[in-house]
Structure 1
């Protein structure tokens, strides 16, 4: 990866289609609900971009992208997509793709073994957690052995925070419980694993100030700005990004739900200082990822 010449690093993109084989039962209905929430017609009309298509899209724009699946088999019943397949495709497109993985922490010792193997075999740089989809509080001690393995590997733990489009508008919210994704639960993780690099994903509505407090207080915590168009960012989030947290904010789109084209166009019109924009778009991520 030519990090000197890439325009930006998108820290938050999804591998939303299986690399091999068909979608799982029920997944099409789930994606249609996501498409309605994000006003993204692609998800409602058919298959979303493959990992290879994602690489081509980002290569055309000279943007690097962190990409991951989400393993929430226990809570959702959806068969997960293979971390190995995603990592393998990333290795074949390493000029633009940076591999993260996702392992449901409820898998216990199996999760720990897989995390260690993925780092050793593929150089996976981080792990995505979605507390609402996976049905756990981030400070549940059940997950601590997995965090310990990630910390020892020098990898990153990325946590979904705030409300989610997953299950939005569906009967019973598809069983998704928003309480799990309050970022204050991650504060305990940052205390108990002070050398674990942590990202709080998304503007954390309705807990934005909690996220800012945790990020400001704990030196190992960052915030990515994915999942929302910048034109909808709360004023206090922009204020902190321009000042106290200018070196801890990260560009993320939430591809394919939100495209980087849309996010970056709205970012240009948002109230960020000129000297802060390069930090958010690239420099902070370079430092965090060790690139």
Structure 2
């Protein structure tokens, strides 16, 4: 288990990827290489979970890590939650597992979520509306959310434009409309006790995300997927004021490394007394680690 007193930060947004070559049958490697070019990522193949753990251990940073189940919409087979969990258990001094299940799987999604929570103690689930092809407030997903709310789990939703598929023909079939954070307002109303995280600066809907997070007590924002040097001024202003306890450090590893993000974060105009909360304490409180 992560010893929160010993790590310098908690990265709330990292991706578990299988090693290069596992997806030769479905084109996933091409998607990954195109995305790496978009983000300027230096690696030649996506790091495995043990490689990710070694990197974070060296940086003295804990990380929430998850796969993304979007096989129905994209045709890219998913990285099994059970496989991810087993590897994370071997590195639980720095890694905290979240799971991902496509809500379109209906009753199967509900059954799997309940099993992962009850058998493995999973504390959160990652949703990617653009990759999974659904509006977050679609009632189709509500039985899934009910399980999360019942068990006090965190629901982490991709919001805004995505680097996934960027520059590929037709954006690789991914529709940005699903990830407008305003759809999360309905979810926050209907599940007021479920902790919700809006992932990423939500371009081009940043003000919508800030509005929902300010208005709904159960909604937070993670700052992953962008180098802080590109944060819009209004986001920095809210981080320094009314959302100072509701914003979380996230890198979007392996596309952005935690040290790259943190180095850029040091250069932006954040109040010194708030920095530790943003990079560590807010996330620790949300996870129940302090």
Interval containing the TM-score (normalised by the shorter chain) = over 0.9
Aligned length: 287
Structure 1 runs not aligned, ≥5 long = none
Partner of 1:178: 176
Partner of 2:70: 72
Partner of 1:7: 8
List 4+ stretches of structure 1 deviating above 4 A. Answer: none
Report the Cα distance in structure 2 between the residues aligned to 1:18 and 1:70, rounded to whole angstroms. 15
Is 2:93 the counterpart of 1:95? Answer: yes
The C-alpha deviation readout for 1:169-216, integer Å capped at 9, x for no partner, is 001111000000000001100000000000000000000000000000
Q: Specify whether residues 162 and 134 from structure 1 end up closer, same or farther in structure 2 by C-alpha distance, changes over 3 A only.
A: same
Which of 262, 265, 268 does residue 263 from structure 2 map onto?
265
Matches within 5 A, 1:1-291: 1-17=2-18, 22-23=22-23, 24-42=25-43, 45=44, 47-291=45-289
Report the Cα distance in structure 2 between the residues aligned to 1:87 and 1:150, rounded to whole angstroms. 18
Report the Cα distance in structure 2 between the residues aligned to 1:70 and 1:2, rounded to whole angstroms. 26
Q: Answer whether contact 1:198 1:221 (CA < 8 A) is retained.
A: yes
Deviation at 1:5, TM superposition (A): 1.5
Give the CA RMSD over aligned residues.
1.1
Deviation at 1:61, TM superposition (A): 1.1
Q: Answer whether contact 1:88 1:122 (CA < 8 A) is retained.
A: no
Q: Answer whether contact 2:26 2:75 (CA < 8 A) is retained.
A: no
23-32 vs 280-289, which deviates more? Answer: 23-32
Q: 3-state DSSP class of the match of 1:103?
A: coil
Report the Cα distance in structure 2 between the residues aligned to 1:17 and 1:272, rounded to whole angstroms. 36
Deviation at 1:40, TM superposition (A): 1.5
Q: Answer whether contact 2:181 2:198 (CA < 8 A) is retained.
A: yes
Deviation at 1:89, TM superposition (A): 1.3
Report the Cα distance in structure 1 between the residues aligned to 2:273 and 2:214, rounded to whole angstroms. 20
Deviation at 1:18, TM superposition (A): 5.4
Q: Answer whether contact 2:19 2:46 (CA < 8 A) is retained.
A: no
TM-score norm. by structure 1 comes to 0.97
Deviation at 1:16, TM superposition (A): 1.8
Deviation at 1:41, TM superposition (A): 3.5
Q: Answer whether contact 2:69 2:79 (CA < 8 A) is retained.
A: yes
Report the Cα distance in structure 2 between the residues aligned to 1:286 and 1:233, rounded to whole angstroms. 23
Deviation at 1:261, TM superposition (A): 1.1
Structure 2 runs not aligned, ≥5 long = none
Q: Answer whether contact 1:18 1:81 (CA < 8 A) is retained.
A: no
Q: 3-state DSSP class of the match of 2:12?
A: strand
Report the Cα distance in structure 2 between the residues aligned to 1:76 and 1:33, rounded to whole angstroms. 15
Report the Cα distance in structure 2 between the residues aligned to 1:114 and 1:186, rounded to whole angstroms. 23
Q: Answer whether contact 1:225 1:251 (CA < 8 A) is retained.
A: yes
